[in-house]
């Protein structure tokens, strides 16, 4: 079995830039990533709606679900699962906080 290369932790924004209940879109190594804070936890998913390419960070975060601003597709931010009505699951990323900064784990193929 081929071993996965370790992820690269990429610096994103200050922890304070993502307040509780909010979503923030960032661009890391060319990737559009949405950062969320919900119930005190940080989450990160791809920021691009799998339906029609809208930025999810322009949408609305409610009860741990992000609603796409264009056509209302909802995704669970904890695991990226698509709750419909359009699209499919979102890719998720691991996050961690170092010295008050949020970092996101990207695999080597994520880098542009």
Partner 1 sequence: MFLQNYWYAAAWSTEVGRTLFARTICNEPIVFYRTQAGLAVAMEDRCCHRRLPLRMGKVIGDNLQCHYHGITFEPGGRCVKVPGQALVPPSARVRTYPVSERHGLLWVFLGGPELADESAIPDYHWITDADWGAKGAYFHVKAHYLLIVENLLDLTHLAFVHATTIGNTAVVESADVQFQKGPLRVDVRRLMKNSAPPPTYVRAGGFTGNIDRWQFINFAPPGFVRLETGGCDAGREADPTAKRITLRNLNIVTPETDASSHYFWAQCHDFDVRNSKLTEMIFSDVQEAFLQDVAVFEAQQQSIEQNPDAPEIDVNGDVGGLQARRIVRELLELQAARCQTIA
Among 7, 64, 69, 87, binds partner 1 (CB under 8 A): 69
Which listed residue (21, 27, 71, 79) binds partner 1 by CB under 8 A? 71
Which tokens sit at 50?
Answer: 């799998």
Contact criterion met (CB below 8 Å) for 35 and 26 = yes
**Binding to partner 1 by residue 54, rule CB under 8 A?**
yes
In the complex, minimum distance from the CB of residue 47 to partner 1, in angstroms, rounded to a whole number: 11
Dist CA 7 CA 94 (whole Å): 9
HSE on the CB side for 74, CA within 13 Å?
Answer: 8
Q: Is 55 in the site for partner 1 (CB under 8 A)?
A: yes
Nearby residues of 20 by Cβ (< 8 Å), 6 or more positions away: 37, 38, 40
Our CB check for partner 1 shows the closer of 69 and 87 to be 69
Q: By CB under 8 A, name the binding residues for partner 1.
A: 52, 54-55, 58, 60, 69-72
């Amino acid at each position: 079995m081929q071993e996965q290369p370790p992820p690269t932790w990429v610096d994103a924004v200050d922890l304070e830039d993502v307040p509780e209940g909010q979503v923030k879109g960032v661009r890391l190594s060319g990737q559009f990533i949405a950062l969320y804070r919900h119930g005190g936890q940080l989450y990160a998913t791809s920021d691009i709606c799998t339906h029609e390419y809208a930025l999810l960070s322009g949408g609305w975060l409610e009860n741990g679900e992000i609603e796409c601003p264009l056509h209302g597709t909802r995704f669970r931010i904890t695991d990226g699962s698509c709750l419909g009505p359009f699209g499919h699951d979102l890719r998720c990323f691991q996050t961690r906080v170092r010295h008050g900064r949020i970092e996101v784990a990207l695999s080597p193929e994520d880098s542009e």
